Amino acid sequence: MADPDLASDPTVDRFHEALAVYGPALRASIHEELGDGTMSAINVEVDVARRGDPDGDRVVVTFDGEFLDDRWSAADEPKEPGCSP
């Protein structure tokens, strides 16, 4: 991590912890729902909201990212100029 202060930030640490715990299940859910692939971290929208709860407010974080299909064929591979297939 580029910023040492960010590495010790409690909020960032909780995100790392959540992804370490739930990452495999999130990956499996993405593959089950959409097929082999991943979510773009470049083409993504993030939303943070508060949800009231009698036991204490909750934080709702939504990542809305483009699905990037891992399946490709040689026909999809970029061709260099002057190269034959």
* Domain range for 51: 8-71
**Would you state the pLDDT for residue 7?**
75
pLDDT in the model for residue 72: 61
Catalytic residue numbers, as ranges: 14, 17, 40
Residue 20 lies in a domain: yes
Residue 28 lies in a domain: yes
Residue 76 belongs to a domain: no
CA distance 43 to 18: 22
21 CB-near residues (< 8 Å, 6+ apart)? none
Q: What is the mean pLDDT of each run of 10 residues along the chain (85 residues)?
A: 79 94 96 93 96 98 95 57 53
Question: pLDDT at position 78, please?
Answer: 55
Please give the Cα distance from 44 to 66 (Å, whole number): 6
CATH number at residue 40: 3.30.1160.10
The domain tally of the chain equals 1
Residue of 63, 60, 19 lying closest to 41 (CA atoms) = 63
Distances (CA, A) of 35 to 40, 42, 52, 69, 70: 14, 20, 34, 7, 8
pLDDT at 71 (0 to 100): 76
